[in-house]
Amino acid sequence: MYFYAARQPILDRDKKLIGYELLFRDGVNNVFPDIDGDEATTRLIEGSQFNFGLEDLTDNKPAYINFTLETLLKGYPTLLSKDAVVVEILETVQPGKRLLAIVKDLKEKGYTLALDDYIHQPVWRHFYPFIDIIKIDFLTCNIETIKTIIDDLKPYPHLKLLAEKVETHEVYNQALELGFDYFQGFFFSKPEMIQSKALPPSGMTLAELLYETSTLDMDLKKITDIFERDVNLSYKLLRYSNSAAFARRAKISTIKQALITLGANEIKKLLSLLFAAQVSTDKPMELIRLSLTRARFSELLAISHGKFKDTGMVFLTGMMSLMDAILDESMQSVMQKLPLSNEIKAALLNDEGLLASYLNLVKFYEQGNWQAANQISQQLGLDDKVPDAYHEAISWVNEQMQLMSNV
């Protein structure tokens, strides 16, 4: 039996990752809009106990998990560590004496509690002393209502406000000005402003290397020469190739030897990561993590699909899919700066080709849009392979982020 779940990042006011909301469905072939909440939560808890560790999916950050009244009554939150979970009370749960007793008990046990998709009602005031986070959906809640909620919460300064469905940077700024503490949505994966960000010297070198490694037959001498004229990149290459992640028989002593040791696929991954990190120093690290996840997830789908001889092109497409956000400008402008293949540009600019199909499947999966993800996965014949590829991508990214912190 397969376990199907995705995650959405939650950031603080400094755009630092504080946790992930876990999104669950019964399966890629069993996507239905009115999924039973009790079953979804039960299966999610079961999966975390027997299929995978929460820390694998959340990189040791708290997991925000939805609970129905039934699963709360059964005590399911206590199956998880109080440090590993934020208990989200679904908006379908009506406030009452039974719920209040459960909330008090969980609070006494040290759990963090949140009201999901909060609908303002006077009765919730009885819960405020025991609740830590209130989540407000910015797509369904108007500003006047939000301001009323904020005013009513002033006697409870311990309560944190989390803005959901923050899809643009404008909405993020609005929530920021209103005093929200946490943010959930895809605002950080879209350009904050239209401007031209000049690439630093090493960024230009990396762009050149990305181009040289985008072909099936790489020119090893030319790539070696490019590395050798940039001391900083040469150092990072040697550190990376000498890490414990790669089995070696001898110490690396030259740039050429390091490149041969890594091999074409690892070189492409390293260059993609370095390029994204180089030009996103003022961006949330979650943006880099998401770029890497898209890249590896797309590549694994392509490997299973067996239609690409060089899956490094698929990896690079996934990585470049967030470059507009990293450079704070349109994708059209970004593509004019980078000497990428026509196939990659067609996917990113025009949503055309098989590369675009992989990328769209990845995007729908990360958003928890199961119906759309299901349609593409069926078209590609990848149904059973998608969840495993996603979880493998998450694990790989965790390893890469740890590895790169030492490079």
Domain ranges of the chain: 4-189, 201-404
149 and 168 in contact (C-beta within 8 Å)? no
Q: What is the CATH number of domain 201-404?
A: 1.10.3210.10
DSSP string, 247-294: --SS---SHHHHHHHH-HHHHHHHHHHHHHHHT-TTS-HHHHHHHHHH
Cα angle 96-100-101, degrees, rounded to a multiple of 5: 120
pLDDT averaged over 10-residue windows placed end to end, the chain, 407 residues: 71 91 59 48 54 69 89 86 91 90 96 94 93 95 94 95 90 94 83 52 71 73 80 71 58 72 80 69 76 90 88 82 80 77 89 95 89 91 87 85 61
CATH number 3.20.20.450 given to 4-189:
yes
258 and 237 in contact (C-beta within 8 Å)? yes
Q: What is the pTM of this model?
A: 0.75
pLDDT of residue 263: 83
In the DSSP assignment, the letter for residue 78 is G
First to last CA, the chain: 39
d(CA 29, CA 387): 12
In the DSSP assignment, the letter for residue 18 is E
pLDDT of residue 262: 82
